[in-house]
Structure 1
Amino acid sequence: MRTGMMALALGLLALRFLPVLPPVWLWLVLPVMGLMALPFRTYPLAFFLFGFSWAGANAQWALDDRLSANLDGETRWVEGRVTGLPQNNDGVVRFELTDARSRQAKVPSLMRLAWYDGPPVNSGERWRLAVKLKRPAGLLNPHAFDYDAWLLAQRIGATGTVKDGQRLAEARWAWRDGIRQRLQAVDAQGRTGALTALVLGDGAGLSREDWQVLQDTGTVHLLVISGQHVGLLAGVVYLLIAGLARYGMWPNRLPWLPWACGLAFAAALGYGLLAGFEVPVRRACVMIGLVLLWRLRFRHLGAWWPLLLALNAVLLLDPLASLQPGFWLSFAAVAVLIFTFGGRLGPWRWWQTWTRAQWLIAIGLGPLLLVLGLPISLSGPVANLLAVPWISLLVLPPALLGTLLLPLPYVGEGLLWLAGGLIDWLFKGLGLMAGQLPAWVPVAIPLCTWALGTLGAFLLLMPRGVPLRPLGWPLLLLLVFPPRPLLPEGIAEVWQLDVGQGLAILVRTRHHTLLYDAGPRFGDFDLGERVVLPTLRKLGVGGLDLMLLSHADADHAGGARAVAHGLPVTRVLSGDPEALPVELHAEACESGRQWTWDDVRFQLWQWPSASDSNQKSCVLQIEANGERLLLTGDIDSAAERALLDSPLAVPTDWLQAPHHGSRSSSSMALLAALQPKAVLISRGNGNSFGHPHPTVMARYIKRGMAIHDSVEQGAIRLQLGRFKPASTMRQERRFWRSMP
């Protein structure tokens, strides 16, 4: 039976690795094939087919509920009910609309919407909304968070922006939203957001600084993902009843073990409902239920049995859970603990058990964090050593009890005030750790190197005395110091990052690195911090020899401050240095300046008669082995005419579309003079400027140019000097990514 359960798990997990989904008819045939295999006692094959078909069918249902392509960018009136906990930050209300319907078209049943300067929206209300709909899609960069996969795992079929709306019905059964409003009105010593995250699993009230501290110290799971707290509450209830029974204070007519297990599970479910019963909480409740069942009836089967059953139960309830990093991390952490503690010889003291558990989890989860593209907290083991008991034993009891006793004057508020103060002390301590040792963003490494590092972690988790165990350390260090191949002389690697309505292009030679523009920033939404800087680190960029900001507009230079803060930058040049922040120490673009890095030649140009910021864009030509790339910033047709009289007006292989392909750029004169073979377009999906303009696209097509669009292809990579076609992120097929 255990073999069958393992085969079922493999079938359910196989969905995560499919590049495309098989045809629908196959999902009907596979269960029949599984039933046909049962009489021949091939149970593993039958269970694998059942799991694979169930997971695939669920994925197909979720894909079928996505917004159709003909409605992408359309504005439609939809009706639905607000679900979850709406978020209101900086004048933007973000919420999810379920049971969505439209009279004129079929729309997805679940949408994620944003309403700028909108009225208050509460959970449980019914609204009629005019929504500009978008197909679910996110920015696609190398080794970055896969927003497309997250949206599909949440079964969100469309995103959109609300233009207008009217409330049709007041909130019903919105008790979680009511509790949140009560919590937000309590004096929690400035930590209301953290308290709400702990009690309700709603992290919207945490500031960016709070998130960064939690990430740097590896303690995000303590406040936002409430699965651990669900387990703690169940454990407290179980131990309380066990203690009463041990000292004769439990009624003899009631068998203490069944009651302990039942009440512990009831407490877990109650807290799970309070926390929203999201995927991490559902996983925790399933695992707790199976552990309690194992404790009650099946202890002779060993500790791996409930973990395997919990894995299958979670995937059967939600096969798309495997698309989320939290799924892998939670089950891997439990597996590491079972493996290491189950294989030890002799008992450890309690303090040895606690300290070693933190280091073992850090070693065991390191390779998984790396392959998932997540930051690794170097201070995490020490931080969790102190923070877990602090939250679990000191903060969580008054927080939950205070929430329960809020109807009593002063009592509930007093307990929440105490919990808030304890959280504040914790954040101050974690902030000191984060300041000394921030999270490490590892460099993406080849699969073979990762496999060797994973083998090293596995060896280190083995008991002492196992042969070859000391080899674990050098193998594990391959993940920290992987071998990095150098580019040949005369070759430049170029990445146009996917930053939405903006521009960021990374250029690397054998020993030098240049960043042309740093991505956009709009208010607090800084793509330089969220996309450009993490991507540079994952690509192995340790510093910039030059950051060239074409001009000072926010969509090109908005992320420069975050990049300069996160990486050492030797020099900053710009076509409009006076308009940039003083701390960047930007120098003026010197038209005609040339230099050579590793046999790759660079040359600058700027129109001396420029009258606005776009026209001041500093243009960069890169030439490697005779193959040329021209980066143009936001120059318009007037600047293009001036460019034609410069030394840069020579046949060019690759052209970065001036001004994102606006109507005022990419003139026929420029295209005729440069004769580009391909164009790189960086833009936002459904941007309000209409970039690229249809007229400009017609010019590109007429000249037979290969068009590489960030919206359709994600980040784009080319190796200048090899005269090869560009590679794009969407060429890495995943079934949840819509193809152009």
Structure 2
Amino acid sequence: MRLGIFALVAGLLVLRFLPSLPAVWLSALLALLGVSLLPSRGYPLGFFLIGFAWACISAQWALDDRLAPELDERTLWLEGRVAGLPEVREGVVRFEVFQAKSRRAELPTRIRLAWYGGPQVRGGETWRLAVRLKRPHGLVNPQSFDYEAWLLAQRIGATGTVKSGRRLEAAAGALAWRDALRQRLLGSGGPRTGALAALVLGDDSGLTAADWRVLQHTGTVHLLVISGQHIALVAGLLYGLVAGLARLGWWPRGWPWLPSACLLACCGALVYGVAAGFEVPVRRACVMVALVLLWRWRFRHLGAWLPLLAALALVLLVEPLSSLQPGFWLSFGAVALLILIFGGRLGAWAWWRSLGRAQWAMAVGLLPLLLALGLPISASGPLANLVAVPWVGMAVVPLALLGTLLLPVPAVGEGLLWLAGGALELLFRLLASIATWLPAWLPSSLPVGVWLLLMLGALLLLLPSGIPLRGLGWLLLLPMFCSPQSRPPQGQAEVWVLDVGQGLAVLLRTREHALLYDAGARFGEFDIGERVVLPSLRALDVRRLDLLLISHADNDHAGGAPAIGQGMAVERVWSGEAGVLPAQLRARDCPSGYRWEWDGVRFSLWRWAQAGDANQSSCVLLVEAAGERLWLTGDIDSRAERALLATGLDLRADWLLVPHHGSRSSSSAAFLKAVAPRAALISRGRHNGFGHPHPTVVARYAALPARLYDTAEQGALQLRLGTFGEARGLRAERRFWREK
């Protein structure tokens, strides 16, 4: 039985690692073959094939439900019902509609929309909207959030921007009830109402970027996102209530207490899950709790691992795309670690010892998973969770849920919510101090062999004391702190043009030095420097920058620079508009004409002294390695290009970063003739509002001829200067969910 379930789970999990999906007919054939093997001794292979086939077919259905390519960037009128709880941040209303219909085209089942300056939108309402639709697309870098995988896991087939719309029907049903309850919570007047809404309803829109930063640095994100811990807490409180009454003799003798406790706990968990929106993580938690309660009632003799394995299989059968989300791996990994630690213990432990042991297991046991997923590692997590877990579990959540239930009672519900919010405020202040003292660490990408050693080391450390060679685990963890990335040899430079949307960030790395040319944009609380550039630098094992060179002060080039300065050591900052940059960067003016050499690679700077605007003020960088040359040009226009031509410098180069993202005002014919690049690099956002690159500019490069590499189409671009090779786009690394 266990072997069959294990094989089924293995087949379902293979989906996560597929570069492409097999044809549906082939998947169906594999499923039939698997069914035919079930009555034989090859039943494990049969279960594996059935799981694999079902996962592939389900994923293909999700891919087929994406917006048709011919509708990409078209504006259509559609009608749909608002799903979930809309969120409003910085004047932008974001929400999803499902079962959207249009007279002119067939649309995906779920669409995620943004309405800039839009009116109030409530969950459950029906709207008629004019929407500019887009196919799912995300940034692809050495390390950053995979937006396309997230959209597919949510089965969202399109995104879009609302141009106008009107409400057709008012909200009704459970969605309307949840939205009304959220408004009541947010309007309760107490502290931390946004965090309370996250705990009660799973609505995290009230948490600021600073809140998320504190939670991430202290490893406590799981406490403010409704997860298995919260669902299990509610179920445990109800189970404990019945068990306590039975022990005191106050439970009716005609009702067996154990099945009653399990049934009440399961119902309570489901009600809490429905209130929280019953999204995929909540459904996963409810399934796990329900199976654990069933195991406690009737199947305890089968061991503790069976309910975990059954829950894993059931979750993946219901939604095979769950494996695309990091939370799936972390939640099941955490439960498996707890079973490993507490399943075979002898005797009862004190509560404080159990809590400490659990935090130790999470810190060490989840380390390989965090490294594999590229997530930050919180060194302060065990300490922070020792305080936060019981504080939230035993004080905040009960007060918040009880206060929500008693909101109809004047003053009582609001009072309890105020107490819960006050407790959260105290906790956030403590966590903020811990985060400042010991922030999270972003690891570098590790080779598979090193990762396997780390996993072995973590398992050894989790074994009971007294086991031979247990201390060897500490030695096996040491490679995590070493430098696993290969460095360019003497005389060569590694170049990364990161995929930062409509902006620019270029990493130049020699054998012993690193330079970052521009840092991407910042849009309100969404900081490309913090979310994309900094994690990518860490993944590439860049721990410090010898030079942060900001071409000019426009947001799409300089907006992420403060986050880079705060996130890693930067020796110096130069810019074409140093006086306009934030004071904390301590930037100096671009020293035009300055030349230097790092590890056999030569660099030189130029800036137009008579520049009339920000773009013309761009600090331009020329890099030469083993005779191969690259120009990084910022946003210079044709006038600045003429000024550069007038210097009489030798402008010939093999590579050219297309000036101003391919704007029509740049890449003049005379400049391109002088540079004569064999290849050009474009950094831009897909479907950007400026129309970059302009068709006339693309035609000029084609006439040279020069091969064009485009981050919007190929993801982050990597090349090795000094080898006269080609560039490589990260989208070439196939993932079945990524658009070709």
TM-score, structure 1 normalization: 0.98
Q: Offset of 1:213 from its aligned partner?
A: 0.9
Q: For 2:378 and 2:333, how far apart are their aligned partners in 1?
A: 17
* 1:647 to partner: Cα distance: 5.4
- Paired residue secondary structure (2:646): coil
SS of residue paired to 1:635: coil
Question: 1:552–1:579: 8 Å Cα contact kept in structure 2?
Answer: yes
Shift of 1:648: 4.5
How far does residue 346 in structure 1 lie from its aligned partner after superposition?
A: 5.3
> Quick check: 2:323–2:329 contact (8 Å CA) kept in 1?
yes
2:101 and 2:107 in contact (8 A); partners too: yes
Question: Do structure 1's residue 178 and structure 2's residue 180 form an aligned pair?
Answer: yes
Distance, in Å, in 2 between the alignment partners of 1:454 and 1:648 is 55
Counterparts of 2:255 and 2:306, CA distance in 1: 28
1:487 is displaced (CA, Å) by: 2.4
* 2:517 corresponds to 1:526: no
Q: Quick one: distance in 1 between partners of 2:363 and 2:417?
A: 32
What amino acid does structure 1 have at the position aligned with 2:62?
Answer: A
Tell me the residue number matched to 2:387: 386
CA contact (8 A) 1:657 1:681 kept: yes
> Residue type of the partner of 1:438?
P
Aligned equivalents of 2:350, 2:444: Cα separation in 1? 37
1:458 Cα deviation from its structure 2 partner? 1.1
Looking at structure 2, the residues matched to 438 and 275 of structure 1 have their Cα atoms a distance apart, in angstroms, of 30
Residue 69 of structure 1, CA deviation: 1.4
The AA in structure 1 aligned to 2:76 is R
1:181-200 to 2 correspondences below 5 Å: 181-189=183-191, 191-200=192-201
Give CA deviations for 1:455-489 in whole Å, capped at 9, x if unaligned. Answer: 10011112223232111001012223344533211
1:322 maps to 323
Distance 1:587 1:482, change over 3 A: closer
Kindly indicate whether the alpha-carbon contact (under 8 Å) linking 1:618 and 1:633 is maintained by their aligned counterparts in 2.
yes
Q: Which moved more, 1:40-49 or 1:399-408?
A: 40-49
Deviation at 1:341, TM superposition (A): 2.2
**1:222-261 equivalent positions in 2, closer than 5 A:** 222-261=223-262
Q: Is the 8 A contact 2:27 2:53 kept in 1?
A: yes
Moved more, 348-357 or 489-498: 348-357
User: CA 1:647/1:443 → structure 2, altered by over 3 Å: closer, same or farther?
Assistant: farther
Q: Distance in 1 between matches of 2:607 and 2:484?
A: 40
**Aligned twin of 2:443:** 442
Give the deviation of 1:583 after TM superposition.
2.8
CA deviation after TM superposition for structure 1 residue 111, in Å: 0.6
User: CA deviation digits over 1:296-315, x for unaligned, max 9?
Assistant: 11111100000000000100
Aligned to 1:92: 92
CA contact (8 A) 2:18 2:735 kept: yes
1:141 paired residue number: 141
What pairs up with 1:200-211 in 2 under 5 angstroms? Answer: 200-211=201-212
Q: Deviations over 1:171-200 (max 9, x none)?
A: 1111110100000110222x1111111111
Equivalent residue, structure 2, for 1:557: 558
| Structure 1 match to 2:111 | 111
**Alignment correspondent of 1:4:** 4
The residue type paired with residue 622 of structure 2 is: Q
Most deviating of 125-134 and 459-468: 459-468
TM-score (norm 2): 0.98
CA distance in 2, matches of 1:15, 1:152: 13
1:491 touches 1:600 (CA, 8 Å); kept in 2?
A: yes
Q: Which amino acid aligns with 1:147?
A: Y
Once residues 154 and 27 of structure 2 are traced to their aligned partners in structure 1, the CA distance between those partners, rounded to angstroms, is: 22
The 10-residue stretch of structure 1 (382-391 or 580-589) with the greater mean CA deviation from structure 2: 580-589
Aligned to 1:722: 723
Look up the equivalent residue of 1:61 and give its one-letter code: W
Distance (whole Å) between structure 1 residues aligned to residue 584 and residue 362 of structure 2: 41
> What residue number does 1:216 align with?
217
Residues 393-472 of structure 1 aligned to structure 2 (within 5 Å):
393-472=394-473
In 2, the alpha carbon distance for the partners of 1:380 and 1:613 equals: 44
1:501 aligns to 2:524 (yes or no): no
Letter of the 1:221 counterpart? H
Deviation at 1:344, TM superposition (A): 4.0
In structure 1, how many angstroms separate the alpha carbons of the residues matched to 2:675 and 2:483?
A: 41
CA shift in 2, pair 1:347/1:477, >3 Å: farther
Distance (Å, rounded) in 1 between the aligned partners of 2:347 and 2:253: 35
1:407-429 CA distance string (max 9 Å, x none): 11111111111111111111111
Letter in 2 for 1:303: A
Structure 1 match to 2:264: 263
Tell me what 1:122 maps to.
122
Encode CA deviations 1:229-288: one digit per residue, 9 max, x unaligned.
110110111111111111211111111111011001000001111111112211111111
Q: Distance in 1 between matches of 2:523 and 2:37?
A: 58
Matches within 5 A, 1:616-627: 616-627=617-628
Report the number of matched residues. Answer: 738
Shift of 1:700: 1.7
Provide the secondary structure at the position in 2 that maps to 1:469.
coil
Q: Distance in 2 between matches of 1:137 and 1:580?
A: 31
Give CA-to-partner distance per residue, 1:606-632, whole Å, 9 cap, x none: 222321111111110000011111000
Whole-Å separation in 1 of the counterparts to 2:137 and 2:381: 32
Per the TM alignment, residue 225 of structure 1 is displaced from its structure 2 partner at its CA by 2.7
For residues 317-716 of structure 1, the aligned pairs below 5 Å read 317-344=318-345, 347-646=348-647, 648-716=649-717
1:592-649 Cα shifts (integer Å, max 9, x gaps):
2110001000011122232111111111000001111100011111211222233544
Contact 1:201–1:226 (8 Å) recurs in 2: no
Q: Hey, what's the Cα distance between the residues in 2 that align with 1:395 and 1:51?
A: 40
Letter matched to residue 178 of structure 2 = R
Distance (Å, rounded) in 1 between the aligned partners of 2:355 and 2:563: 38
Inter-partner Cα distance in structure 1 for 2:648 and 2:274? 68
Alpha-carbon distance between aligned partners in 1 of 2:454 and 2:711, rounded to the nearest angstrom:
34
Give the whole-Å Cα distance in 2 for the aligned partners of 1:648 and 1:128.
59
Shift of the alpha carbon at 1:579?
A: 2.1
One-letter amino acid of the counterpart of residue 566, structure 2: H
Taking the aligned partners of 1:290 and 1:172, their CA distance within structure 2 comes to: 32
Offset of 1:651 from its aligned partner?
2.3
Q: CA deviation at 1:571?
A: 1.4
The residue aligned with 2:55 is: 55
- Contact kept, 8 Å, 1:226 with 1:275, in 2: the verdict is no
- More off after superposition, 417-426 vs 574-583: 574-583
SS at match of 2:570: coil
Counterparts of 1:293 and 1:253, CA distance in 2:
21
Match of 1:630, SS state, is strand
Provide the secondary structure at the position in 2 that maps to 1:424.
helix
Note if contact 1:344-1:463 (Cα within 8 Å) is conserved in structure 2: no
Match of residue 42 from structure 1: 42
Q: Using the alignment, how far apart are the partners of 2:583 and 2:218 within structure 1? A: 32
Matched to 1:188, the amino acid is G
Query: 2: distance between equivalents of 1:572 and 1:352?
Result: 49
Gaps of 5+ in 1: none
Name stretches of at least 5 consecutive residues in structure 2 with no aligned partner.
none
Amino acid at match of 1:185: G
Equivalence for 2:300: 299
| Residue aligned with 1:406, SS | coil
Q: 1:543·1:567 contact (CA, 8 Å) conserved in 2?
A: yes
Is residue 30 of structure 2 the alignment partner of residue 30 of structure 1? yes
Asked whether the equivalents of residues 90 and 524 of structure 2 are also in contact (C-alpha less than 8 Å), the reply is no
Residue-by-residue CA offset, 1:38-70 (whole Å, 9 max, x unaligned): 343311111111111111111000000101111
Residue type of the alignment partner of 1:69: P
Q: Distance in 1 between matches of 2:524 and 2:334?
A: 38
Letter in 2 for 1:545: D
SS of 1:488 mapped into structure 2: coil
Q: Give me the whole-angstrom Cα distance separating, in 1, the residues matched to 2:327 and 2:708.
A: 37
Which is worse superposed, 421-430 or 580-589? 580-589
What root-mean-square deviation, in Å, do the aligned CA atoms of Structure 1 and Structure 2 show? 1.3
In 1, Cα distance between equivalents of 2:29 and 2:640? 62
Quick one: structure 1 residues 496 and 299, their matched pair in 2 at CA, closer, same or farther if it must change by over 3 Å? Answer: same
* Equivalent in the alignment of 2:74: 74
Contact kept, 8 Å, 2:505 with 2:557, in 1: the verdict is yes
Name the SS for the 2:337 alignment partner: helix
Alignment partner, residue 13 of structure 1: 13
207-216 or 153-162: bigger deviation: 207-216
